[in-house]
């Protein structure tokens, strides 16, 4: 039997054919009018996804590089900050801040739990003088979505800056930077932006720029003042990832043609279908407030989640993600992100059903697929 593989993970995600093909285009020099025109087109396209009038800067790094850039550009040694840690990637904010000697008030949530804006307001009240609040739009380790709009309402009334990790969530969930009072927003290429890994994106509000001019944490490669000066000249301060930017342009063309609202709605429909499929299999969702980037599912008692992931990948070619840290073997994560369609969601659920049968776990065969199909047939346009 011919064996195909299906990339069903929350990053990297599958790529459109035209994006893959763009990698074969001959390189152009990055200090030419031709590249400057391309570069400016891409930065403008990114602004339309960030929904901001501010500049969006392209960094040649993973999303974690943009997280570090966010920290070093707005803060000074010893500054007090608040960090909401609801999973592995929320925890990363606190780790980076401590690496730079900041005074971190870390709010540690049980993974998968929600954190309403009222609790953030209380935490800020208990942390006078906080210079920044670090939060996550979509926590990739749990599938949980957080109330960025509410956080913006709270933080905008203070002198603190709201810094949002939108690496997996931006483009799949609403997060209009300007309207929601987000001061620093970051993302990356390999999620809903439908491009290969290797690019990260960051934008600062006017409030954040006023802080960036006075911040004194060490910065060199990630100095956004240099990036802003270079962007005004149609270029980047360092050698850019030329081929990746060419590919991102192709993906942004697709997003523009589709429209951001339709892209977000697409993710909502896929998320709804997968959640319906999971419930149809009598399995339990992990996140209290699940988003549309991925669906985290509790592994049934008596099953080893690591074995479940291994069988899905090795036998059925369905590359999903398992749990992380303390949740290894306890949850699985089915992505519906970026260049995925309805049949990708059905493939994930079908492979899950077959794997559950192979591992001896009783379940209502076909119910998950039927539940997901009912959603997709109703919404498919």
Over the stretch 17-49, which tens digit does the pLDDT of each residue have? 999 999 999 999 999 999 999 999 999 999 999
Domains delineated in the chain: 6-12+259-379 (3.90.1150.10), 17-257 (3.40.640.10)
CA distance 81 to 78: 9
Would strands 6-7 and 56-59 be described as parallel, antiparallel, or unpaired?
unpaired
- What single string gives the DSSP state of each residue in 5-22? -EE-SSSS----HHHHHH
pLDDT at 337 over 90: yes
pTM value surpassing 0.85: yes
Over the stretch 186-234, which tens digit does the pLDDT of each residue have? 999 999 999 999 999 999 999 999 999 999 999 999 999 999 999 999 9
Query: What pLDDT does 365 receive?
Result: 84
Over the stretch 237-256, which tens digit does the pLDDT of each residue have? 999 999 999 999 999 999 99
Q: pLDDT tier at 381 (50, 70, 90 boundaries)?
A: low
Packed helices 342-358 and 260-280: angle between N→C axes, nearest 10 degrees: 20
Query: What pLDDT does 229 receive?
Result: 98
Alpha carbons within 13 A on the beta-carbon side of 43: 25
Query: What pLDDT does 364 receive?
Result: 85
Query: What pLDDT does 149 receive?
Result: 98
Q: In whole angstroms, how far apart are CA 115 and each of 111, 341, 355?
A: 11, 31, 34
Q: In whole angstroms, how far apart are CA 110 and each of 84, 86, 115, 166, 194?
A: 11, 6, 10, 20, 31
Percentage of residues of the chain with pLDDT beyond 70: 100
């Amino acid at each position: 039997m011919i064996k195909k593989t299906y990339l069903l993970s929350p990053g990297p995600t599958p790529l459109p054919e035209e994006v893959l093909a763009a990698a074969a285009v001959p390189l152009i020099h990055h200090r030419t009018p031709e590249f400057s025109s391309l570069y400016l087109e891409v930065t403008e396209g990114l602004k339309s996804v960030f929904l901001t009038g501010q500049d969006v800067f392209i960094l040649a790094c993973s999303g974690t590089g943009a997280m570090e850039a966010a920290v070093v550009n707005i803060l000074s040694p010893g500054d007090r900050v608040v960090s909401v840690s609801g999973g592995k990637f929320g925890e990363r904010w606190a780790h980076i801040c401590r690496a730079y000697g900041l005074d971190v008030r870390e709010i540690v949530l049980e993974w998968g739990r929600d954190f309403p804006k009222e609790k953030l307001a209380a935490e800020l009240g208990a942390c006078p003088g906080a210079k920044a609040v670090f939060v996550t739009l979509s926590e990739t380790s749990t599938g949980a979505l957080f109330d960025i709009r509410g956080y913006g309402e709270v933080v905008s009334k203070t002198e603190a800056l709201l810094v949002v990790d939108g690496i997996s969530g931006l483009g799949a969930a609403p997060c209009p930077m300007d309207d929601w009072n987000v001061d620093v927003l970051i993302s990356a290429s390999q999620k809903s932006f439908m491009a290969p890994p290797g690019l990260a994106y960051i934008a600062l509000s006017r409030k954040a720029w006023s802080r960036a001019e006075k911040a004194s944490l060490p910065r060199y490669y990630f100095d956004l003042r240099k990036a802003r000066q270079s962007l005004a000249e149609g270029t980047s301060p360092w050698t850019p990832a030329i081929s990746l930017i060419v590919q991102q342009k192709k993906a942004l063309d697709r997003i523009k043609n589709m429209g951001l609202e339709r892209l977000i709605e697409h993710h909502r429909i896929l998320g709804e279908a997968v959640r319906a499929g999971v419930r149809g299999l009598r399995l339990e969702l992990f996140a209290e407030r699940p988003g549309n980037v991925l669906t985290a599912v509790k592994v049934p008692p008596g099953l080893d989640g690591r074995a479940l992931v291994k069988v899905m990948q090795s036998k059925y070619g369905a590359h999903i993600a398992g749990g992380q840290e303390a949740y290894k073997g306890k949850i699985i994560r089915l992505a519906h992100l970026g260049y995925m369609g309805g049949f990708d969601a059905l493939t994930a659920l079908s492979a899950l059903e077959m794997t559950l049968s192979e591992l001896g776990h009783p379940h209502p065969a076909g119910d998950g697929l039927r539940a997901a199909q009912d959603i997709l047939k109703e919404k498919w346009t």
